[in-house]
Amino acid sequence: VIGKRFHSCCVVVKNMQRCIYAIPSSSVFPRDTISRIEKNSTSSDASLSLRATLHELSSGLKSEVAEKLSDLNVSNFVMTPVKRNYAFERTDVPIGEQYVLKINYPYKDPAVPADLRGDHFHALLGTNNSALELFLIKRKIKGPSWLSISKFVACPSTQRVSWCKFEVTVDSPKDISVLMTSNTLEVPPVVVAAVNLKTIINEKHNVHEIVSASVICCHQVKIDTPMRSEDWQKRGTISHFTVMRKLEGSIFPIGLTKEASDRNQKAGSNVLALESSERALLNRLMIELSKLDCDVLVGHNISGFDLDVLLHRAQTCKVPSSMWSKIGRLRRSVMPRLTKGNTLYGSGASPGIMSCIAGRLLCDTYLCSRDLLREVSYSLTQLAETQLKKDRREVSPHDIPPMFQSAGTLLKLVEYGETDAWLSLELMFHLSVLPLTRQLTNISGNLWGKTLQGARAQRVEYLLLHSFHAKKFIIPDKFAARNKELNSAKRKLNADTEGGNAADGAADPSIDDEVHHGDQGKARKGPSYAGGLVLEPKKGLYDKYILLLDFNSLYPSIIQEFNICFTTVERSSDGNLPNLPTSKASGVLPELLKSLVERRRMVKSWLKTASGLKRQQFDIQQQALKLTANSMYGCLGFSNSRFFAKPLAELITLQGREILQNTVDLVQNNLNLEVIYGDTDSIMIYTGLDDISKAKAIAGKVIQEVNKKYRCLEIDLDGVYKRMLLLKKKKYAAIKVALDGSLRENIERKGLDMVRRDWSLLSKEIGDFCLNQILSGGTCDDVVESIHNSLVQVQAQMKKW
RNA sequence: GCGCGGAGCGA
DNA sequence: ATTACTATGGTCGCTCCGCGC
Ligand SMILES: [Mg+2]
Ligand SMILES: [Mg+2]
C-alpha cells in the first residue's frame, strides 16, 4: 500500500520441494512391530525412539530409493517415514492407515517416473504433482486472502519476472502463510478494466484487424459485496480511453485530430488517442493498460474474441514481447501457441491466451451470463435490453470502414466501443460475478481465475484435496491409470435396466436448483450409470390444491445420512455397486458437507438480521455454500475427475431412487394420499381440497411422517398449487400460491415449449395465452372458445402478412 | 418401430 | 471435407425435430 492505494506485488517462491510417497512392501514396517512400539510411545521421548525405530526399519527401503533417485539425477533429497491414510482407487496401495516413506526433493530436479518400483516399495505417489497445487494445499491457502510474507527480499529491477509494481522473493514456501487475523483487515479493492475492440475484416487473409480499442477502468471495485451502480460509477474512481488508428493508405477525416486534442485537453488525460497504424495502436494500448495494471480484465466474449484478436494481431504486427506481454503481469519473451484445442465457440480462451494474461483475472460476461441467466440469446444487445434495460446499437465489422469517412461517424464508433465496454462492465456488476466467484473460491480453495472460467470440477477437486490433505491422506494422482473399466460397464448397464420404464426404469442426478443454464456447444456423452427416479405423471388438469414436497439438497443429504465416502464404502475391484457402509466413523465427505451445511445455516441466520450490503454479502455466501455442496456429487460421477468414483455416485443415486419410492409408498399406502407426480427428489400430492389451510395441514402431517425416518434427510413443503396442468414427465404448469401468507399467485412453467429458447416468440406467446386460459378456472367451454377466438385472430394477422 | 444426428429443458 | 483426446470439460432423465430404414 502506498498512501491509500493498493498496488500489485509478485512474490517469487524459491525452493519448492516435491513431495512424493513410496508405498513400502509389507515387510518393511511389520504390523506387529509397529503396533508394539506405538503402544509404548505415548510420552515425548518415546516418540523420539519411535522415530528412530522407523528410520531403522526403513533403512533398506531408503537406500534402495536413494539409489534409484541418484540414477535419475536427483541428488538433494530427504526421506522420512510418516504415517498416512489412503482411500482411493489404486489397487496397489493398501486402504487405511500405514507408514510410508515421504521423499522431498527440489522441483528443479526432474520428476521421477510414476511407475518406478523396487524390492522394498511397490508404488510411488505424487510424482507429478504440480508445484502450484502442492503450494496451495500445503500452505492451506484457500482462495484470495491476506497472506503474511516473511523474510522476503526485494527483487532488483534487472531480474524481474513480472510487470508488477513490486516484486519480492522468498526462499521457502514456508515464508508464506495465511494471515489468521485477516478479519480485522479491510478487503482490498481491485482494479477492473473493461475492454472492447472494434475490428475490420481483412478479406484476403480472413482475419480481424483492430481499428479501435476502448477501455473503461474502475479503480475501486469491491470483491466482498455486490456494488450498486451509484457506487461503482462514482466520480474519480472510474476512467476511460479509446485508442484508434487510421485505415491503411488513408488519413483520418477532417476535424478528428482537433476533436481528439480538445477532448484530451478537457479531460486532462488521453481519452482519445489517434495512431497511424495497428502496430502503434497496440503499443499504445499496452502502455495504457500497463499503467492501469488492472487485476481483472472484463469484456463480452473477451475470451472468445478480443483477447484472441489482440494477441494474434500483436504477433502479426510484430509488436515486441516487452509490449504485448503487458497484457498480463508476467514478462514473456515468446508468444505461446495461441490456438491449441478449444476451437469451440464459447469454451473460453485457449491455454496459450490464458498464460499471456497470467496475474490478471479474466471475466467474460458472455460466459458468465450463460452460466447465471436464462436468455434466448446471450448477445450483448439482448442482455443489455433484458438485464440492463438499455438499448445497444449493433455494429458489424462491415459497417466500420464507411464510418472512417467523417469525423462524426468515427466519433460514433468511439462511442459504440466505449458503450460496449461499459455495458459489459455493468453486466459484471449486475451479476455480482466477482463477489460470487471469490466466495466460491474461498470455499473450495482453488484459483479464482479458474472459478471465473467455470471449472466446476476443479473447484470440487481442490475442496477435496484440502480436506483429505488436512486429514493426512495421500491424495490421488492427477493421471491415475484408469485404464480398466472405461466403456465396458456402460453398455451393460443400459442393456439390463430391467422392467419397462413404467415406474422404475429411471435414473438420477444431483438436484440442481435455480442456477446453471446456458448449455450450448458441448455434446453430451451417454450416461454411464442410473440417475434419478421420475414418476409417471397422472396427466391432466387439476383444479384443487396440490402439495409439492421436496427433499432439501437430496444428494448432499444422502451422503451424510448414509455416511458415503471414499473412506467408508467398500468398493470391489470389479466396479460393481457397493453396499452401504456399516462403519461408525464419519467419512471425510459427510464431514465436509456437514461443515458446509452448518456454515450455510449460520450465514443464513446472520442474513435474517443484516441489511443493505452486509445482507447481500451473506446472501452470496449462502448461495456459494449451497452451490459447493451440491456440485460435489457431480464430480464423483465425472469420469475425468481426479476423485472419480462411479460406485459412490451410483450408490448415492440408488439411495435417492429408493428414498423417493419409499416416500411415495408411505404417502399412498399409509397416509392414503394420491401422488400424481414426482421427479428425483420431489412428490406432488393431489389433496382434492378447496381449503388451503386443510391442505397445508396435510402437508405438515406428511412432512412429519417422512422426516422421522431420517437423521439428515429432510423433506419440506416447496409449494402449494391451486391449479395445475400436468402434461408429461418434466412438463407442467401450475398456479403457485405464495406460502408467506400473502396468498400471491404466480404461474410456474416447467419444461413447456414456451420456456425453451428454441421456439419462436409467437409460438411462446400463444402458448402462454392458452395456458393462462386453461388455468383461469373458467368453464371448459369458455376456455375453448377463448383460445379458439385467439387462434383465429392470429391466423388472420398472419394472413395479412 | 429401430437406428443415427441435432436441439435444451428438467432434477 | 475431416476430425487424432500429452489439457480440460460436474451428473443423469425426458422430450422434440429430422433423416434413413
Ligand atoms: Mg430439492
Ligand atoms: Mg426438486
- Residues A198 and A128 both lie in one domain: no
Distance CA A213, CA A210 (A): 7
Tell which of A431, A449, A471 closes a domain.
A431
Closest among A750, A729, A745 to A777, alpha carbons compared: A745
Tell which of A408, A431, A454 closes a domain.
A431
Ligand nearest to the CA of A554: 1
C-alpha cell at A610: 443484516
CATH code for position A668: 3.90.1600.10
- Please check the confidence at residue A472 and state whether its pLDDT lies above 80: yes
- Residues A59 and A73 both lie in one domain: yes
Rounding to the nearest 10 degrees, give the CA dihedral for residues A12, A13, A15, A21: -140
User: Which of A390 and A522 is assigned the larger pLDDT?
Assistant: A390
Backbone phi, psi, residue A111, to 5°: -70, 145
For A103, the domain range is 12-139
- Residues A750 and A766 both lie in one domain: no
Give me ligand 2 centre to Cα A372, in Å. Answer: 19
Backbone phi, psi, residue A151, to 5°: 50, 40
Q: Is residue A268 part of a domain?
A: yes
Give me ligand 2 centre to Cα A513, in Å. Answer: 7
Distance CA A607, CA A628 (A): 19
CATH code for position A131: 3.30.70.2820
Q: Please, is A281 exposed, middle or buried when counting C-beta atoms within 10 Å of its C-beta (0-12, 13-18, 19+)?
A: buried
Backbone phi, psi, residue A266, to 5°: -65, -40
- Please check the confidence at residue A507 and state whether its pLDDT lies above 60: no
Distance CA A152, CA A175 (A): 8
Closest among A97, A89, A80, A92 to A19, alpha carbons compared: A80
Judged by C1' against the alpha carbon of A522, the nearest nucleotide is C9
Query: pLDDT tens digits, residue range A367-418?
Result: 999 989 989 999 999 999 999 999 999 999 999 999 999 999 999 999 999 9
pLDDT for the residue numbered A181? 85
Write out the H or E segment, with its range, that includes residue A279: helix A278-292
- Residues A278 and A382 both lie in one domain: yes
C-alpha cell at A357: 494474461
Q: Is residue A484 part of a domain?
A: no
Q: Is residue A719 part of a domain?
A: yes
Give me ligand 1 centre to Cα A713, in Å. Answer: 11
Of all residues in chain A, what percent carry a pLDDT higher than 90? 84
User: How many domains does the structure of chain A reveal?
Assistant: 4
Name the closest residue (CA) to the C1' of nucleotide B9.
Answer: A751
- Residues A738 and A660 both lie in one domain: yes
Judged by C1' against the alpha carbon of A375, the nearest nucleotide is B8
The answer to whether A775 and A732 are in contact (CB under 8 A) is no
Strand B contact at CB of residue A308, distance < 7 A:
no
Name the closest residue (CA) to the C1' of nucleotide B11.
Answer: A511
Name the closest residue (CA) to the C1' of nucleotide C4.
Answer: A341
**A455 CA → C18 C1’, Å:** 34
One-letter amino acid of A28: V
Q: Is residue A652 part of a domain?
A: yes
- Residues A240 and A354 both lie in one domain: yes
* Burial call A764-775: b when 16+ CB within 10 Å, e when fewer: bebbbbbbebbb
Of all residues in chain A, what percent carry a pLDDT higher than 70? 93
What pTM was computed for the model? Answer: 0.93
pLDDT for the residue numbered A502? 31
- The secondary structure of A741-762, three-state, reads CCCCEEEEEECCHHHCCCCCHH
CATH code for position A276: 3.30.420.10
- Residues A201 and A338 both lie in one domain: yes
Q: Tell me the pLDDT of chain A averaged across its residues.
A: 91
Tell which of A431, A464, A486 closes a domain.
A431
- Residues A279 and A366 both lie in one domain: yes
The answer to whether A22 and A101 are in contact (CB under 8 A) is yes
- Please check the confidence at residue A509 and state whether its pLDDT lies above 50: no
> What letter does residue A241 receive in the DSSP assignment?
E
Ranges of beta strands (E only) in A509-552 are: 540-542, 546-551
- Residues A72 and A194 both lie in one domain: no
Pairing of strands A745-750, A731-737: antiparallel
Least confident among A145-149, A501-505, A623-627, A732-736: A501-505
- Residues A740 and A770 both lie in one domain: no
Give me ligand 2 centre to Cα A683, in Å. Answer: 9
Q: Is residue A110 part of a domain?
A: yes
Q: Is residue A660 part of a domain?
A: yes
* Burial call A668-692: b when 16+ CB within 10 Å, e when fewer: eeeeebebbbbbbbbbbbbbebeee
- Residues A237 and A131 both lie in one domain: no
Protein chain A, residues 493-522, with a C-beta closer than 7 Å to any atom of nucleic acid strand B? 509-512, 516-517, 519-520
Strand B contact at CB of residue A524, distance < 7 A:
yes
- Residues A783 and A700 both lie in one domain: no
